[in-house]
Amino acid sequence: MSSTDKAEQVRLGFLAAIETRDRAFVGGLLVTDRFGRPLEFQCTTPVKPNRTQELLYGPTLVPFILGELLGKTLLDRLQVKPHLLFVDRVETLQVRSVATIPVLWALERTSKEATDKPSVDIGLNRCVFADDFESDRDVIKKHAAVFANDANLREPLERVSEALKETMASAGARVA
């Protein structure tokens, strides 16, 4: 297989979550080809932590729910597996601890957030990845070659958020 063929087959995952007004979390994961064309989409049912869980998990609750609960479940259920996973918030980087692929938090290039964390520039975005996985840098750079200079990696995440809102609206739930 030529390198061009491999580039053609690079698949990207976009994991986003929304929170409903009653503090439940819903996650969605979209897998696309390198042009952003959707290949598969999965979303979860809402997950709502109880009071005990809130107290005992403390500040680790949201990273746990987004990363290990929603993120891992979605990754496991996917039939089309991505090579890179982009997430929409820093808490979801937690999914890297249970995933086998690099996980990147896509930020605007000009964003002042997480400047102390390791990152790579892809398209129009600065992509932060988990501290403990510095070795991901090489893998990310290898796949990043397929992106156009004007690629906006936050855009597919917005699609996922919109799809989750549409799903929740159709189920009668109110989104926070």
**45 scored as a contact of other proteins (CB under 8 A):** yes
**19 scored as a contact of other proteins (CB under 8 A):** no
Number of residues that bind other proteins (CB under 8 A): 43
Query: Cα(140)–Cα(120) distance, rounded to whole angstroms?
Result: 8
Sorted by sequence, the CB contacts under 8 Å of residue 158 that are 6+ apart come out as none
**73 scored as a contact of other proteins (CB under 8 A):** yes
Query: Cα(42)–Cα(78) distance, rounded to whole angstroms?
Result: 7
- Of 15-23, 92-100, 127-135, 166-174, the window that binds other proteins (rule: CB under 8 A) is 166-174
Out of 56, 81, 115, 142, which residue is the one contacting other proteins (CB under 8 A)? 56
Out of 110, 112, 116, 174, which residue is the one contacting other proteins (CB under 8 A)? 110
Q: What b/e readout covers 15-52, taking b as 16+ CB neighbours within 10 angstroms?
A: bbbbbbeeebbbbbbbbbebeeeeebbbbbebeebeee
**5 scored as a contact of other proteins (CB under 8 A):** no
Out of 144, 163, 173, 175, which residue is the one contacting other proteins (CB under 8 A)? 163
